[in-house]
Structure 1
Amino acid sequence: MLRRTPPALAVALLLCAPTAGAWAGSPGRQVAVVDQASRSVLVLQSAEELMAYRGPDRLPVVWGWSADRAPELADLSPARSWTNPDEAKSRVRHGRRYLLTTASGGLAAVVETTTGRVHWAADLGVAVNPHSIELLPDGNVAVAASSGGWVRLYAASQGPRAAAYAQFPLPGAHGVHWDGRTGLLWVLGDTALTALRVGGTPAAPTLDTVRSSPLPGSGGHDLAAVLAAPGRFWVTTSDGLWRYDPVTDRFTAVHLADPAAERDLKSVGDEPGTGRLLTVAPEHEAPCDWCTSVITLHRPEGARSLRGARLYKARWWSGW
């Protein structure tokens, strides 16, 4: 097990961690976690190495990022706006890998992992609770804000602080995903999964509804591609885990070995090549009712406890 790691130590570990170029020879797929204890996105060793890890003196971190250590974001008040980071995605555009991240405090950012350069960032305000983010092929950025009740498509292609946007109202907006197969932007709210068509120009985008499907349960939270079945999506609600097929417009319940593990999931995804599922669910214990220190794997089953961490989401670090 890992000892409680103070934020200062976590920062030191990140500064000496290997760069993106060192990952290629590592076995298995790395896991990215959003750790609110260290206010960081951490990329950890592969699931296989995590399961066997016993070193008590350091986190098994291979790369990480925090807005607290990004001087170019000083104008966005990261001490406040980077409070409670809640999303981490990996995307590859024009051969470059990017970290996509948001925080409940208001920050949304896209960061090139090799250089640490911020492609785009904005402070959207603590009242709106940014909850997920997506990078489009033209360089624009979509953000879902749960308390704001909207999804915005920012003209991020126009510069690192571009502020123009198109907005789609969506109560409880929690998830956003670009489907390159259909050219649709899928967005997840409290009660519906909606597909949007992006129009206009990169400098002045527009959003129009193509279709909307009611969820099989309330409290939509996470939306991700099913990598083993392109075109389909993982969807989590307060009380269930689902696979959605846009062709049939059908949600199919996904059952895990432990039925309790299907509820209140903050994130879900299948590992490229193996199909192994990775989920995170809160432990509902102080000091963070919405966090956990446990990464859970399914098919085959397994769990890894990162003592002292306050994890909100965990995702396979794939740039599909």
Structure 2
Amino acid sequence: MRRIIFAGALLGLVFFQMACSKKSGSSDGPDNNPPTVQPPVSYPGLLLALTNDNSKQVEIYDPTVINWNTSEAKKWSWSPTTTQGFSTAEIKAFGGGTDFKVRRMKAWQEADYVAISDNGMAAVIAYPSGKRVWSKVISGNLHSAELLPNGNVALAASDGNWIRVYASSQGADNNTYAEFTLGAAHAVLWDPGINGLWVTGQDLSNNAHILTALVVGGTDALPELTELTQYRVTLPTAWGHEVGAYYGNKNLLWVTTNGGEYVFNKTTKTFSASPTNNLTFVKGIVNQPSGQIVLVRPDANKNPRPEVSCNLNGWSTSTIDFYTAGGQWQGSRIVNGACFYKIKMVYDNYQ
């Protein structure tokens, strides 16, 4: 399930993983890693959600707390349980998460809910109670989840080569879905501005690595997916990974690939290098309202490898790095024994 497939080389040094299965690792990356010293600095900002392969939980931390190894720092944690309404199969399938997005749902009494994916399952839960709203064991190596304004959930499966929208608004066990074929699908992000989903993956007809958008049509009960071809662009480097909102500018998106990290301009349909030194294999990146950038990158791709690092796999890290809006490294938070894969800001707005 957690395969590592390598393809191609960047200047003979950086190997690109093909499926990047949650969880993808590679050979040593470039010598552009920030120090792993944790400075005594408090970072004001919103809470940060991280998927932890080691604890098999989603964990939420407070960036204002300096030491993340204390109970004061960890504000919330979640994994499926029977008391929350999950089946034994769903509990067994959950390994810590590949995505976590909080959304305020007008369709559900203006309350907060979360879309969650993991390699072999997906769920919609109430937040912060964690109670099950919809869930299902799904094969295909799920990498991303998004909760649509109508209560349906979008999923991306890298091995399944698809984007799906399940009619989760129709009941906790609903299995109706629409599907769009997309090779190595890794990301789904709802954008109210275009009334559609941004997705990354590979065009199986020509092997191009792309960012594109999908419109969700049909009805709540019978959704349909169609590509908005006017938004399709080829990624600057291969194997697209994350797509995220660039908070503070609705015309921009964060986009990461195995080969780099970028800011995408929706109007011009162009990519520019991220301020954070164009790091490789960035699995998650967010920006705080202040402009501060926070990201996670596998320890296996850092050279030298941090002294405190994730030894469970090659696609996670024990370190969360903080940068100024201009890309200057500020410091890190390190959690001993953690294997963080994805990071999300706990903010219930789409943009």
Structure 1 unpaired stretches of 5+: 1-26
SS of residue matched to 2:241: coil
Q: Give the share of equivalent positions with the same residue, in percent.
A: 32
Deviations 1:161-181 (A, max 9, x none): 111000001111110011012
Q: State the AA in 1 paired with 2:51.
A: V
- Structure with the bigger percentage of helix: 1
Q: State the AA in 1 paired with 2:259.
A: D
In the alignment, which residue of structure 2 is the partner of 1:203? Answer: 221
Do the aligned residues in 2 keep the contact of 1:280 with 1:312 (CA within 8 Å)? yes
Once the two structures are superposed, the pairs formed by residues 26-65 of structure 1 within 5 Å of their partners are 28-45=45-62, 47-49=63-65, 52-53=66-67, 58=71, 60-65=73-78
Is 1:276 the counterpart of 2:292 in the alignment?
yes
Do the aligned residues in 2 keep the contact of 1:30 with 1:317 (CA within 8 Å)? yes
Alignment partner of 1:252 out of 243, 248, 272: 272
Aligned CA-pair RMSD: 1.9
Q: State the AA in 1 paired with 2:97.
A: P
SS of residue matched to 1:313: strand
In the alignment, which residue of structure 2 is the partner of 1:173? Answer: 185
Deviations 1:220-257 (A, max 9, x none): 0001011121132100011111111121111111132x
SS of residue matched to 1:78: helix
In the alignment, which residue of structure 2 is the partner of 1:291? Answer: 316
In the alignment, which residue of structure 2 is the partner of 1:85? Answer: 97
Do the aligned residues in 2 keep the contact of 1:225 with 1:231 (CA within 8 Å)? no
Do the aligned residues in 2 keep the contact of 1:109 with 1:120 (CA within 8 Å)? yes
Q: State the AA in 2 paired with 1:209.
A: E
SS of residue matched to 1:98: strand
Do the aligned residues in 2 keep the contact of 1:217 with 1:240 (CA within 8 Å)? yes
Task: Please report how far the alpha carbon of residue 307 of structure 1 lies from its aligned counterpart in structure 2 after TM superposition.
Answer: 0.6
Q: State the AA in 2 paired with 1:203.
A: A
Aligned length: 283
SS of residue matched to 1:85: coil
Work out the CA distance in 2 between the residues paired with 1:166 and 1:100: 17
In the alignment, which residue of structure 2 is the partner of 1:225? Answer: 245
Deviates more, 1:58-67 or 1:131-140: 58-67
SS of residue matched to 2:156: strand
Do the aligned residues in 1 keep the contact of 2:84 with 2:131 (CA within 8 Å)? no
In the alignment, which residue of structure 2 is the partner of 1:101? Answer: 116
Do the aligned residues in 2 keep the contact of 1:111 with 1:120 (CA within 8 Å)? yes
Q: State the AA in 2 paired with 1:297.
A: F
Pick closer, same or farther for the CA change 1:102–1:70 going to 2, 3 Å: farther
Alignment partner of 1:119 out of 121, 126, 133: 133
Deviates more, 1:281-290 or 1:175-184: 281-290
Alignment partner of 2:261 out of 226, 241, 252: 241
Deviations 1:28-47 (A, max 9, x none): 311111111111111111x2
Q: State the AA in 2 paired with 1:220.
A: G
SS of residue matched to 1:157: helix
In the alignment, which residue of structure 1 is the partner of 2:13? Answer: none
Structure 2 unpaired stretches of 5+: 1-43, 203-208, 301-309
Work out the CA distance in 1 between the residues paired with 2:151 and 2:240: 27
Work out the CA distance in 1 between the residues paired with 2:154 and 2:164: 6
Pick closer, same or farther for the CA change 1:97–1:234 going to 2, 3 Å: same
Work out the CA distance in 1 between the residues paired with 2:136 and 2:162: 16
Do the aligned residues in 2 keep the contact of 1:76 with 1:122 (CA within 8 Å)? no
Work out the CA distance in 2 between the residues paired with 1:172 and 1:239: 15
Is 1:316 the counterpart of 2:331 in the alignment?
no
TM-score (norm 2): 0.77
Deviations 1:90-114 (A, max 9, x none): 111122112221111x110111113
In the alignment, which residue of structure 1 is the partner of 2:331? Answer: 302
In the alignment, which residue of structure 1 is the partner of 2:37? Answer: none
**Greater relative contact order structure (CA < 8 Å, 6+ sep):** 2
Do the aligned residues in 1 keep the contact of 2:82 with 2:88 (CA within 8 Å)? no
Do the aligned residues in 1 keep the contact of 2:90 with 2:136 (CA within 8 Å)? no
Deviations 1:6-29 (A, max 9, x none): xxxxxxxxxxxxxxxxxxxxx631
Do the aligned residues in 2 keep the contact of 1:179 with 1:231 (CA within 8 Å)? no
